[in-house]
A = this chain, B = another copy of it.
Amino acid sequence: MRDNRITELFNIEHPIVAGGMVWVSGWRLAAAVTNAGGLGLIGAGSMHPDTLREHIARCREAVAGKTFGVNVPLMYPEIETIMNIIAEEHVPVVFTSAGSPKKWTGWLHDRGIKVAHVVSSSLFAAKCEAAGVDAVVAEGFEAGGHNGREETTTMCLVPAVRRATSLPLIAAGGIATGEAWLAAEALGAEGVQVGTRFALTVESSASDEFKRHCLNLGEGDTKLLLKKLSPTRLAPGAFRDAVEAAEAAGASADELRELLGRGRAKQGIFEGNLDEGELEIGQAAALLRGTEPVSAATVVADLVATRRDALNRLTICNH
């Protein structure tokens, strides 16, 4: 495919971003995606500052000058430390999420760092444009993990964000194949952020137990829960059963917070405790059912090939 604003902005071959996911996106996954021609992101949300510094150093060494980035949830408790490390280590790209793009965009730009921000509404996309971010990620309801309150799906969100801003636009949520990538382009996106499919590759830091569990999910198996706290899409498991039961009985935000406790995403994703853990994954997992984890490079190549096939199919059908 031709270059577009996303490939030019990040100086990458394919406009494919690997979401920077907690307990999933260490330097191995980020470097593998970058080396395959996409944009790999390290997920700072689950790292202590020293761990992040080490992952950045290893990723930089592994990609030998190619572009990688770090995803930073802006409600991170040690946000200033994290941002200083990112600047000191000359990370070229930061994806921010879960907060206002106003606060850090100028600071990052002053240090030569490109900034994309993740939104779940066109209202926030417009705020991104006002804040001067370089690109916006529109993430729909079908995405795994933390999710917008609006519940707007990728099919409805991407065109709304396309109308609301002139920014380079990356679609996220439900995109695990080249067909979905092409669909996102039809809706107005110039690139895609792929989470679930990269979370289940061999280079992902997630445990084998988590990967196997997610590669056996059917349609309807993930659910968006914890809406009174922060809506989160979860795979089945004993902890999720407890959340569902509590919510059906009208549990308050405080009761849910107590049930959630701390460290559940680590337990579930990283340690593979399918009973006690929080198992964050997107609806697209059902499209991967019955497959084995493959390399991130295989995923990138498959996305490129299946997108091309889908485009050829559309073109042949119409001309």
Specify which chain B residues have a CB less than 8 angstroms from the CB of A141 in the assembled complex: 141-142, 153
User: Is A186 part of the binding interface, using a Cβ–Cβ cutoff of 8 Å?
Assistant: yes
User: Is A183 part of the binding interface, using a Cβ–Cβ cutoff of 8 Å?
Assistant: yes
Specify which chain B residues have a CB less than 8 angstroms from the CB of A152 in the assembled complex: 142, 219-220, 283, 286
- Docked CA distance A179–B182 (Å): 11
Please provide the chain A residues from 113 to 163 with a CB less than 8 Å away from any CB of chain B in the complex: 121-123, 140-142, 148-157, 159-160, 163
* B142 near A156: Cβ-Cβ < 8 Å: yes
**For residue A249, which residue of chain B has the nearest CB?**
B250
User: Is A44 part of the binding interface, using a Cβ–Cβ cutoff of 8 Å?
Assistant: no
CB-contact partner of A140 in B153, B163, B248, under 8 A = B153
**Distance in Å: Cβ of A214 to nearest Cβ of chain B:** 14
**For residue A175, which residue of chain B has the nearest CB?**
B155
Looking at A123, A187, A188, the one whose CB has the most chain B CB atoms below 10 A away is: A187
Specify which chain B residues have a CB less than 8 angstroms from the CB of A186 in the assembled complex: 179-180, 182-183, 185-186, 310-311, 314
User: Is A73 part of the binding interface, using a Cβ–Cβ cutoff of 8 Å?
Assistant: no
* B156 near A286: Cβ-Cβ < 8 Å: yes
- Docked CA distance A153–B141 (Å): 8
A219-B283 contact, Cβ under 8 Å, with A155-B175, A187-B180, A250-B248: no
Interface size class of A (residues with CB under 8 A): 35 or more
**Distance in Å: Cβ of A257 to nearest Cβ of chain B:** 16
**For residue A182, which residue of chain B has the nearest CB?**
B186
Task: Give 1 or 0 for each of A173-212: 1 = CB within 8 Å of chain B CB.
Answer: 1110101101111111000000000000000000000000
Specify which chain B residues have a CB less than 8 angstroms from the CB of A180 in the assembled complex: 155, 159, 186-187
User: Is A87 part of the binding interface, using a Cβ–Cβ cutoff of 8 Å?
Assistant: no
**Distance in Å: Cβ of A54 to nearest Cβ of chain B:** 36
User: Is A291 part of the binding interface, using a Cβ–Cβ cutoff of 8 Å?
Assistant: no
A150-B220 contact, Cβ under 8 Å, with A159-B177, A248-B250: yes
CB-contact partner of A155 in B174, B219, B317, under 8 A = B174
**For residue A3, which residue of chain B has the nearest CB?**
B317
Specify which chain B residues have a CB less than 8 angstroms from the CB of A150 in the assembled complex: 219-220
Specify which chain B residues have a CB less than 8 angstroms from the CB of A142 in the assembled complex: 141, 152-153, 155-156
CB-contact partner of A156 in B2, B121, B283, under 8 A = B283
A residues apposed to B, CB below 8 Å: 1-2, 4, 121-123, 140-142, 148-157, 159-160, 163, 173-175, 177, 179-180, 182-188, 218-220, 223-224, 228, 248-251, 283-284, 286-287, 310-311, 314-315, 317-318
